[in-house]
């Protein structure tokens, strides 16, 4: 399981890369590994607005379908338009296959996320 030190993580297995007041989101290596081969991805539209913990889309694999959640509030300013046509890229490079970029409403919500060390411990406890 790969965990990158420059990212923050949610307990729903999303990663967040903070870029000023922007949050780039994707799913973790652990999540894609648990899902198996990703075959379908549904993402929100630019200008959609979400509160922290809202469902923002769906990822489906050969094993299961799972909602995607945003760990921070904000407005979608960019969507990775290539991913829905190439969802297997998530399995190949989960940290390079970002899904959306949010303009954050409240960056204090970032304190609710896990550090790389905390995320590793969380995954180990989850078993």
Please give the backbone phi and psi of residue 33, each rounded to the nearest 5 degrees, phi first: -65, -45
pLDDT in tens, 5-34: 999 999 999 999 999 999 999 999 999 999
Count the domains in the chain. Answer: 1
Give the Cβ contact number of residue 22 at 10 Å: 15
CATH number at residue 70: 2.40.50.100
Residue 47, pLDDT score: 98
The answer to whether residue 53 sits within a structural domain is: yes
The answer to whether residue 62 sits within a structural domain is: yes
Residue 71: closest CA among 25, 123, 34, 124:
25
Question: Quick check: 2 and 95 in contact, CB under 8 A?
Answer: yes
State yes or no: pLDDT of 126 exceeds 90. no
State yes or no: pLDDT of 97 exceeds 80. yes
The answer to whether residue 125 sits within a structural domain is: no
State yes or no: pLDDT of 127 exceeds 90. no
The answer to whether residue 124 sits within a structural domain is: no
The answer to whether residue 117 sits within a structural domain is: no
The answer to whether residue 120 sits within a structural domain is: no
Q: Whole-model pTM?
A: 0.94
Taking the C-alpha atoms of residue 60 and residue 54, their distance in angstroms, rounded to an integer, is 18
The answer to whether residue 127 sits within a structural domain is: no
Question: Quick check: 94 and 33 in contact, CB under 8 A?
Answer: no
pLDDT in tens, 40-73: 999 999 999 999 999 999 999 998 899 999 999 9
Query: Which structural domain, as residue segments, surrounds residue 23?
Result: 8-106
The answer to whether residue 94 sits within a structural domain is: yes
């Amino acid at each position: 399981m790969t965990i990158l030190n420059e990212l923050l993580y949610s307990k729903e297995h999303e990663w967040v890369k903070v870029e000023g007041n922007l949050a780039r989101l994707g799913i973790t290596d652990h999540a894609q590994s648990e899902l198996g081969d990703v075959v379908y991805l549904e993402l929100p539209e630019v200008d959609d607005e979400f509160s922290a913990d809202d469902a923002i889309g769906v990822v489906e694999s050969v094993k299961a379908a799972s909602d995607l959640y945003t760990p921070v509030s904000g407005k979608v300013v960019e969507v990775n338009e290539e991913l829905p046509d190439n969802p297997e890229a998530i399995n190949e490079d989960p940290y390079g296959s970002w899904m959306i970029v949010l303009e954050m409403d409240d960056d204090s919500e970032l304190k609710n996320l896990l550090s790389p060390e905390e995320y590793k411990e969380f995954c180990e406890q989850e078993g």
